[in-house]
Chain A
Amino acid sequence: DVKVTQSSRYLVKRTGEKVFLECVQDMDHENMFWYRQDPGLGLRLIYFSYDVKMKEKGDIPEGYSVSREKKERFSLILESASTNQTSMYLCASRAGSPPGEQFFGPGTRLTVL
């Protein structure tokens, strides 16, 4: 059974903290994605990676960075968390090109105080 796991379901951090969100997939997928989900805005792509050590900016990369040192792991980093980064963060992976299915993790609900 395919699986995308995220390190935390709920996370509370303080403004200015450095935050790491981890995502691991066990399907040997080349492509991995980080989205942010906010009510009324749907899912917005932050960053994606189509290979180890490769990354591309999505639609809202400001305030975020990513790391992909191993194929199965894709990390989202908030260098200095701010309250406007309070959101649900979803990781996904996909094999090959569209129209391949993206498989999603359960999400991390991050609250920045």
Chain B
Amino acid sequence: AQSVTQLGSHVSVSEGALVLLRCNYSSSVPPYLFWYVQYPNQGLQLLLKYTSAATLVKGINGFEAEFKKSETSFHLTKPSAHMSDAAEYFCAVTARGGATNKLIFGTGTLLAVQP
């Protein structure tokens, strides 16, 4: 069974600083991995996804994530935080193949950006 663990339920960075949000997954076979963002009072929006085409995945708003099989990680990074990045971020995993495969979400990391 798949699962994801997000280390740190709250992360605070200064504007302009590096953003690093951690996600580790558990899966018996290479999965699909996703990062979603939820801005206040909104639904979730896809930031990026890993499908095996490339281990470094670029997403919207300057975010990227690197799939590291040896570390079973898919950490999200952004070189320079902006105030508008303040939101909750969710890592998610699903197995390959099968329309009924479920998306399993982590517990989320709330990112605060200080001026």
Q: How far is the CB of A72 from chain B (nearest CB, A)?
A: 17
Q: Which of B41-49, B66-74, B76-84 contacts A (4 or more CB under 8 A)?
A: B41-49
Known: A42-B90, A90-B43, A90-B44. A98 touches B107 (CB 8 A): no
Q: How far is the CB of A52 from chain B (nearest CB, A)?
A: 14
Known: A43-B90, A98-B94. A106 touches B41 (CB 8 A): yes
Known: A90-B43, A99-B32, A105-B43. A45 touches B107 (CB 8 A): no
The answer to whether B99 touches A96 (Cβ under 8 A) is: yes
Least CB separation from B41: chain A residue: A106
CA distance A1 to B76 in the complex (A): 27
**Interface size of A in residues (CB-CB distance below 8 Å):** 28
Known: A42-B90, A42-B105, A98-B103. A104 touches B32 (CB 8 A): no
- CB-CB < 8 A to A97: which residues of B? 97-99, 101
Could you say which interface size class chain B belongs to? 20 to 34
Least CB separation from B101: chain A residue: A98
- CB-CB < 8 A to A22: which residues of B? none
Contact among A44, A50, A106 with B100 in the assembled complex (CB-CB below 8 Å): A50
CA distance A96 to B41 in the complex (A): 28
Task: Map CB proximity to B onto A39-80 as digits: 1 under 8 Å, 0 otherwise.
Answer: 011111100101000001011000000000000000000000
- CB-CB < 8 A to B44: which residues of A? 43, 90, 92, 102, 104
Contact residues, A89-113 vs B (CB, 8 A): 90, 92, 96-99, 101-102, 104-107
A4 at the interface (CB under 8 A from B): yes
Known: A99-B32, A99-B51. A40 touches B9 (CB 8 A): yes
Known: A99-B32, A106-B42. A43 touches B105 (CB 8 A): yes
Supply 5 A–B pairs (Cβ within 8 Å), ascending by A: A35-B105, A43-B44, A97-B98, A97-B101, A98-B98
Q: A98-B94, A102-B103 are in contact. List 6 more A-B contacts (CB 8 A).
A: A31-B99, A43-B44, A99-B32, A101-B46, A102-B46, A106-B42
